[in-house]
Structure 1
Amino acid sequence: MDQDVVAYYTDVYREDGRLDRRPQARLERARTVELLREVLPPAPARVLDVGGGPGVYARVLTAAGYRVRLVDLVPGHVALAAGGDPPIDAVVGDARALPEPPDSYDATLLLGPLYHLIRAEWRVTALREAARVTRPGGRVVAAAISRFAAPIDFVATARLTGTEVAQAHALLTSGVNDPSSPFTPAYFHRVSDLIAECEAAGLTDVVVHGVEGPAWPAAEAAVNGPLADTILAQALDLARVYSTEPALLASSAHLLAVCQA
């Protein structure tokens, strides 16, 4: 599993720049930054960014005065984070065995690892590690991909065929994507799964946000039209309005669990 993830992000897909490429990703970045500003303790708190990739969020937090360390499984991501502007303190590591002492951070972010840990016990281990390195009462913030993100995306971008419908049936049952898909093997969460895994790791006060909100498919569908910017802005407004509305959480492409260690 680890080798698959490293190979995918080294040889197949460039993660740097992803959050600029399409409306869904721009909504993801904007709302994630807003939510982090709302839920993290004030700077200069210490933040561990686990699975932080090339350092997009770590750089935002560093610029805001936070003391950030990034841990990522992919050496290329660590190099990009360390070599960017501002440079990030970054090391190679596994979310399930963090190279950090207990209670050493005010907040820990897991904004990617849960996607790639396809076994529940691995995900709970990663969440327990996040709790371990976070001081009592500190924040753990964990992202997940919604179980319904892929089929909604296929519809929004007019790519839904019989093959994708069959994949949606399989995904609904297992939560694991088709191994022949272009994406690396990944787990797609139901909201209840994410809450249960956070609680199994000993985290408390779990609040789940829908990151992109219910209108992100409209922003995708309008991307090449004259109202693209307007619809993107309106989708962002709705994401804020319905951020914690239980009935609409799973319509977002990504979920964000905010917990207390």
Structure 2
Amino acid sequence: MPTVTTNVAKLYGRIAELENRRLADHPMEREITLRAIRKGLASASGTAPKRIADIGGGPGKIAFALADEGHEVDLIDLTPDLIELAKVEQHKREIAGDKPLLRSIAVGNALDKSPLTEDSYDAVLLLGPLYHLMEESERAMAVSHALNLAKPGNGLVFVAFVTIDAHLRDIAMRNPGKIIEYKDFYSRYLSDGRYEKSEPGQAKTVQSFHTRPDNIRAFFSKHFPETLDLVELRSTEGILGGGLDATLAKSSDEIVQAWADLLFDSYSTNEHHLGCADHILATLRRR
């Protein structure tokens, strides 16, 4: 069944303030993601400021961080409430006059053809959409639209996925009896990665797709064999998935950066540790 994107937007509208704090509460996801983007951009075309499109970037935490580093960033998200939070931050920056602004902020759907200029971006970010698109054809469409925005030859696309392991860790900590209570559901979920639930008498209110590293590789190989190269898969939490980085959110920036350096360099691309991730970030290069 195709994704009901209006339900996804409503879900994030209900949790907008929580989403606005999420990357502060999970600093390793934020820092390792930013390091991966910096590494990709530096390898593609040096250190000059880049054009970046952040599709599904929520309230713009990654987008603003990249703008602070001198890049020109366009932000699009499905949820008006999250876009409004990004506009509030943009307005604060305009008044203060001491921080860079985003180039544009708009409501938009990763499944729709983007209003942004094709073939013109050094990097395109899809850090949220794919784990709320239930059909493989939809995920392929979102990546295809992003790929069209990237510069031919060396433009990058960064795509995030949620792991099946992340959800299993979550229920083990919160409600371990669910795997018995919902045995049939989890038997199917472990096979197809579709996590769907609804309130009694209502349509699906939560739709999320979870996967594994080998399935990510197979997805790109199947749908984009002629148009992109998979550069790397990276755990955005290193070995600290499942919220194990929560204490770091209360630590000094020096400590946060030291842990991010350690996990980025020694753990985040290690094949044996990808299963420790809540999110896996694929770095892709357009041919």
Tell me, yes or no, if structure 1 residue 219 matches structure 2 residue 237.
no
Aligned to 2:20: 16
Q: Deviations over 1:179-227 (max 9, x none)?
A: 149983110021122223334133213311111122334826x859xxx
User: Which residue number in structure 1 is paired with residue 177 of structure 2?
Assistant: 162
CA contact (8 A) 1:140 1:259 kept: yes
Q: Residues 1-261 of structure 1 correspond to what in structure 2 (within 5 A)? A: 1-14=4-17, 15-21=19-25, 25-41=26-42, 42-85=47-90, 86=93, 87-88=101-102, 89-96=104-111, 97-136=113-152, 137-155=154-172, 158-164=173-179, 166=183, 168-180=186-198, 184-199=206-221, 200-201=223-224, 202-217=227-242, 219=244, 223=247, 236=260, 237-261=262-286
**Which amino acid in 1 is paired with 2:206?**
T
Give the deviation of 1:110 after TM superposition. 0.5
Task: Map Cα deviations across residues 3-45 of structure 1 (whole Å, 9 max, x no partner).
Answer: 1011111134531111223xxx222112112212211243411
Contact 1:219 1:235 in 2 (8 A): no
Gap runs ≥5 in structure 1: none
One-letter amino acid matched to 1:186: S
Deviation at 1:229, TM superposition (A): 5.4
Deviations 1:58-80 (A, max 9, x none): 00000100000011111122222
Tell me the amino acid that sits aligned with residue 24 of structure 2.
D
Aligned partner letter, 1:103: D
CA 1:68–1:218: 2 relative to 1, 3 Å: closer
Cα distance in 1 for partners of 2:74, 2:258 equals 34
> TM (normalized to structure 2)?
0.78
What residue identity is the alignment partner of 1:249?
L
| Structure 2 unaligned spans of 5+ | 94-100
Q: Tell me the CA shift for residue 234 of structure 1.
A: 8.2
Work out the CA distance in 1 between the residues paired with 2:177 and 2:256: 29
Give the share of equivalent positions with the same residue, in percent: 31
Take 1:64 and 1:214, find their aligned partners in 2: how far apart are those partners?
27
Q: 2:233 is aligned with what amino acid?
A: V
For 2:69 and 2:163, the matched residues in 1 are separated by 29
Q: What's the offset of the Cα at 1:152?
A: 1.6
SS of the residue corresponding to residue 105 of structure 1 reads coil
Q: Which amino acid aligns with 1:172?
A: L
Shift of 1:170: 3.5
Provide the C-alpha distance between the structure 2 equivalents of 1:218 and 1:80, rounded to a whole number of angstroms: 24
- 2:96 aligns with none
Summarize deviations over 1:123-172 as a string: whole Å, max 9, x none.
011111111111111111111101211112333xx324211464544421
Deviation at 1:99, TM superposition (A): 1.5
For these two proteins, the number of residue pairs brought into alignment is 252
Change (3 A) 1:248 1:63: same
Amino acid paired to 2:220: C
- Judge which range, 41-50 or 67-76, deviates more: 41-50
Counterpart code for 1:20: A
Q: What secondary structure is seen at the aligned counterpart in 2 of 1:135? A: coil
Q: TM-score, normalised by structure 1?
A: 0.85
| Helix, strand or coil at the partner of 2:159 | strand
Q: SS in structure 2 opposite 1:30? A: helix
When residues 57 and 149 of structure 1 are mapped into structure 2, their CA distance, relative to the original with a 3 A threshold, is: same
- Once residues 186 and 52 of structure 1 are traced to their aligned partners in structure 2, the CA distance between those partners, rounded to angstroms, is 17
